[in-house]
Amino acid sequence: MSVPIVRTLADLRSVVAGWRKDKARIAVVPTMGALHEGHLSLVRAALARADRVIVTLFVNPKQFNSAADLAAYPRTEEEDADKLAPLGAHLLYVPDGSEIYPPGFATTVSVTGVSEGLCGAKRPGHFDGVATVVAKLFLQTGADIAFFGEKDLQQLHVVRRMASDLDLPIEIVGCPTVREADGLALSSRNVRLSAGERAIAPKLVAILDEAARSLSAGAPAASLLQAANRSILAAGFREVEYVELRSAADLAPLELADRPARLLAAAWLGQTRLIDNVVVQPAAE
């Protein structure tokens, strides 16, 4: 069994119209391909909540911050389709670039507030690119429910805000981060890590986990986050972009883990930028 692939909006709409006649509940799982177990976990979650699951594969130029990163982004469409088929995903939508950004395209969806800070501060325009393409994918698929990974936690919050602000009739579901046995969060860009870098990479989450435990024990964030920053550099990362404690509800900055929180970080390992985040249990009163 293979998964059917459609490349045009007209074909997508004709498939979806048939499903709608049957009153099917439709899910979408947006991706940029190079699928791994993290993506597949989203597809499984979608299959459990919907009658039909569309996986989208579009390497969105508007969300990249460098031409080199865009050019180097892994593209493995055939293998991706092979991975999806046994799961039972119903459709792979691989839009031609002109289906997403036709000539003259001039609209940007821009979410303020939650897009600012963290990755938003380091990747100017990134979340505008994400919000714009996700809005289009929601409208093109007409899905009832969409699945996103918590590995990209700020992205999940941006998408939730966008869907709510624009009254898009779609439920947004966040799914837990899938990790390698040593803790490293699965990510399509991990293939770029050298063997030496791969050995260092899981130290990011280990340092975050240890800091999260101290925060849950009531330690104030400021000095702890500085120490975590130094530990990440000492582990062999080249640069730390941020290590921040944020409220789990809305990603507002926190100085103490006095409510459910997340500890988020982004750091460069050689030429690869890794992001991760961990749950921080609130400190007891």
Ligand X SMILES: CC(C)(CO)[C@@H](O)C(=O)[O-]
User: What is the closest distance, in whole angstroms, from the C-beta atom of residue 133 to ligand BAL in the complex?
Assistant: 10
Query: Which 8-state DSSP code applies to residue 85?
Result: G
Q: Which residue is nearest to ligand X (CB)?
A: 30
Query: Is the torsion defined by CA of 201, 121, 60, 271 positive or negative?
Result: negative
User: What minimum distance in Å lies between the beta carbon of 152 and ligand BAL?
Assistant: 5
Q: How far is the CB of 201 from ligand BAL (least distance, A)?
A: 16
Number of residues that bind ligand X (CB under 6 A): 10
Nearer Cβ to ligand ATP (38/95): 38
Tell me the residue nearest to ligand ATP as measured from the CB. 149
The answer to whether the CB of 178 falls within 8 A of the CB of 38 is yes
State whether the Cα torsion 251-256-262-268 is positive or negative. positive
Alpha-carbon torsion angle 195, 196, 201, 206, nearest 10: 120
Q: State how far the Cα of 124 lies from the Cα of 220, in Å rounded to an integer.
A: 30
Binding partner of 43, given ligand ATP, ligand X, ligand BAL, none, CB within 5-8 angstroms per partner class: none
Which of ligand ATP, ligand BAL, ligand X, none binds 93 (CB below 5-8 Å, type-dependent)? none
Tell me which of 39, 90, 126, 157 is the catalytic residue.
39
Bridge partners (DSSP) of residue 246 are: 253, 262
Helix axis angle for 9-21 and 126-141, nearest 10°, is 50
> By rule CB under 6 A, what string of x and - marks binding of each residue 186-215 to ligand ATP?
xxxx--------------------------
- For the chain, give the number of residues: 285
247 annotated as a binding-site residue: no
Q: How far apart are CA 220 and CA 231, in angstroms?
A: 17
* DSSP symbol at 33: S
* Contact partner at residue 41 from ligand X, ligand BAL, ligand ATP, none, CB < 5 to 8 Å by partner kind: ligand ATP
Smallest separation (angstroms) from ligand ATP to the CB of 189: 3
39 as an active site residue: the answer is yes
DSSP 113: S
Q: Minimal CA–CA distance to 88: which of 57, 43, 49?
A: 43
User: Is 72 a known ligand-binding residue?
Assistant: no
Q: Which does 138 bind (CB under 5 to 8 A by kind): ligand X, ligand BAL, ligand ATP, none?
A: none
Write each residue from 38 to 57 as x if it is in contact with ligand ATP (CB under 6 A), else as -, in one continuous string.
xx-xx---------------
Return phi, psi of residue 87, to 5°. Answer: -75, -30
- Strand (E) positions, the chain? 5-6, 26-31, 52-57, 91-93, 145-149, 171-175, 239-247, 261-269, 272-280
Name the nearest CA neighbour of 215 among 183, 161, 260.
Answer: 260
Q: Is residue 186 marked as binding? A: yes
Write out the binding residues for ligand BAL, residues 45-84 only, by CB under 6 A. Answer: 63
Counting contacts by CB under 6 A, is residue 152 touching ligand ATP?
yes
Interface residues with ligand X (CB under 6 A) are 30-32, 60, 63, 130, 133-134, 152, 155
Active site residues per annotation: 39
Binding-site annotation: residue ranges: 32-39, 63, 149-152, 155, 178, 186-189
Binding stretches for ligand ATP (CB under 6 A): 31-32, 38-39, 41-42, 148-149, 151-152, 175, 177-178, 185-189
